[in-house]
Homo-oligomer: A and B are copies of this chain.
């Protein structure tokens, strides 16, 4: 299972802005970061090319528009070098390295840094959140993507084909990256929605003990998604509200579309939460209903057979003093045995009628 809490923190009191080196274990897992650069030349985007970090151009306000995509976690000295080149604030550098940031937007004097998460389900259906950091400073956009997931595969293809929008300005490009990132939540939610509907069928038809575990797993994921989605919405909202000087009116219109998407996604998560809560109620009630059913069956059986067993027990007693007229004279009666059967049948019928009257079956 995925851990809910993955922030790597310094011991309280260490200087903020201190860049943390990866543990060797983490470094191995992540592998070295790759740096992919695309430039816009003569109104066209070049293909992305892998570069070494030293080749990174300096960000200026009037230069050539370019987009650097950093896949995987860079080493501290790489990040520092990059930070110097493009003007990435030390606090933002720290947050990129630490990972597990809450989605947020930070405005520094001349640059903007947006922290997001990309949710993804692995093959076992467990939910993971990968951190995406988008930096916009001057004419340079840098995207940092931790982990191996590359959310911009489709986007890059589009960029190459120059399909859709022209993406000739930094805010345009930022919008495109944000859009691609936010839309990653849809397939995840779709899969969660499908599982809820499967569970609905399962619970209404043949609930068993594993049902509960699945339901808890769903809730867990919804808690995680919710924790990620609310601040994401807030990020987009802040971009629209507080940093609208960075966007052209046209891009703002498209940003509103992203905002609508996040609101829609949150709505859905809330509905899913309501649904899982309702499913739990159904599950508990059906458990309670079945218990009642068992209990009634048992009570009816016991109530019918216990008196009968008592009666036959009585005539299994061995009182046999031949001198006593009270020594179970019934045993010697001519009609004794049929009479006992009559009594027993009467008792049984009586009980059954009584239960029928009480509508027990």
Contacts and interface: CB of A to CB of B under 8 A. Distances in A.
Contacts of A181: 12
Contact of A18 (B164, B216, B303): B164
Given A312-B316, A326-B336, A263 B183 contact: no
Nearest to A196: B4
Contacts of A274: 219, 223
A102 B263 contact: yes
Q: Which of A7, A189, A283 has the most CB of B within 10 A?
A: A7
A331 interface: yes
Interface string A8-25: 011111111110000000
B312 A303 contact: no
A271 B158 contact: no
Contacts of A321: 331-334, 336
Nearest to A329: B337
Interface residue tally on A, bucketed by range? 35 or more
B332 A337 contact: no
A148 interface: no
Interface of A: 1, 3-5, 7, 9-18, 89, 91, 101-102, 104, 106, 108, 151-158, 163-165, 179-184, 186-187, 189-190, 193, 196-197, 200, 204, 206, 209, 212-213, 215-216, 219-220, 223-224, 227, 231, 253-254, 256-257, 260, 263-264, 267-268, 270-272, 274-275, 278-292, 294-299, 301-303, 305-310, 312-321, 323-324, 326-328, 331-338, 340, 359-360
14 contacts: A12-B180, A12-B182, A15-B165, A17-B164, A204-B216, A224-B271, A280-B281, A284-B285, A291-B291, A298-B302, A305-B306, A306-B309, A309-B309, A309-B310
Given A14-B154, A291-B291, A326-B335, 10 more contacts: A4-B196, A7-B186, A12-B183, A12-B187, A16-B165, A102-B263, A216-B279, A294-B295, A313-B313, A318-B331
A-B pairs with lowest CB-CB distance, top 9:
A15-B164, A13-B154, A312-B313, A12-B183, A315-B317, A13-B155, A305-B306, A316-B316, A13-B180
